[in-house]
Structure 1
Amino acid sequence: MYQYFNGLVIREGTVGVPAEQVEVLFKDAGWARNTPEWQKEKFTLIFTNSTWAFTVWDNEKMVGMVRVISDQIMAANIMDLVVLTAYRGKGIGQKLVELCVQKLPHGDWFAHTSANNFSFYKKCGFEVRDLSENGTCTYYGYIQARKDGHRV
């Protein structure tokens, strides 16, 4: 699946995500540095072993990504959500979370993240219950199912 968002292309899929592009995003976010050559394949394998993934492209440059692990029935975890610094503040992250939740709209969603991202996840409809250094933001699909009239 491809779709356009503010002049960018969003691709859905877990296969063929280029490791070097993922590494650039992880370095920009401060999640990786000096990765040994023999370990670089992990940047592709994390997608291969994920349930869902979306990548955001500005021509041939990947500028954002999210990957999800889920049972595809009841629960899903956002494992990595990152947007290049130069592209932040343009709604890309929120769009990626929206696309994820659409995959399992009445499921329970979790995002393990640091406290500085809590406000972002709140804007995306998640609740933040743990206000310590790190915590899990949750999106309970059964609440949305009630609002949508699918559940009593």
Structure 2
Amino acid sequence: MYQYFNGLVIREGTEGVPAENVEALFQDAGWARNTPSWQMEKYSLIFTNSTWAFTVWDGEKMIGMVRVLSDKIMAATIMDLAVLSEYRGKGIGKKLVELCLQKLPHGDWFAHTSANNFSFYERCGFEVKDLSQNGTCAYYGYIQARKVGHR
């Protein structure tokens, strides 16, 4: 499935997302650097193993993406949302979040993000809860790949 948004094409699907395009988005976002060739496949596999995904294209150039992990019943998490810096501020990220929310309209949604993106998600309808109020806490483990500079 695909649709048009402000002259761009948004494609839905987890298959066939080119690894080099994902790496370029991750590098632009500051999430990846100097990926060894033997690790490039992971950028396609993260999509293949995701529940839902959308990519945004300006002609042949992938300029945005989002991927979601979900049980498809109660909860879903936006794992990665990235838009090339030169395309930010044009509503693309918000549109991607809206498309995600349509996949599970009555479920609980979470966003795996950094603190500097809280305001973006608040504008999309997410709430940043005071952890002392709801007792929810997330812990992150750092595996060896992270320690040696591979995401």
Using the size of structure 2 for normalisation, the TM-score is 0.86
Identical residues among aligned pairs (%) = 83
What does residue 112 of structure 1 align with? 112
Letter in 2 for 1:49: N
Matches within 5 A, 1:118-129: 118-129=118-129
CA distance in 2, matches of 1:130, 1:47: 32
Deviations 1:25-66 (A, max 9, x none): 000000000000000000000000000000000000000000
Secondary structure of 1:33's counterpart equals coil
CA distance in 1, matches of 2:84, 2:112: 19
Considering Cα pairs closer than 8 Å and 6+ residues apart, tell me whether 1 or 2 has the greater RCO. 2
What does residue 15 of structure 2 align with? 15
CA distance in 2, matches of 1:115, 1:14: 27
Deviations 1:75-96 (A, max 9, x none): 0000000000000000000000
Matches within 5 A, 1:34-113: 34-113=34-113
What does residue 147 of structure 2 align with? none
Higher strand share: 1
Aligned-pair Cα RMSD in Å: 1.3
Provide structure 2 residue ranges, at least 5 long, that are not aligned to the other structure: 132-136, 139-151
How many residue pairs match? The answer is 133
Letter in 2 for 1:73: I
Secondary structure of 2:53's counterpart equals strand
Measured after TM superposition, the shift of residue 112 of structure 1 is 1.9
Measured after TM superposition, the shift of residue 128 of structure 1 is 0.5
**4+ long deviations beyond 2 Å:** none
Measured after TM superposition, the shift of residue 19 of structure 1 is 0.2
Provide structure 1 residue ranges, at least 5 long, that are not aligned to the other structure: 137-152
Measured after TM superposition, the shift of residue 130 of structure 1 is 4.8
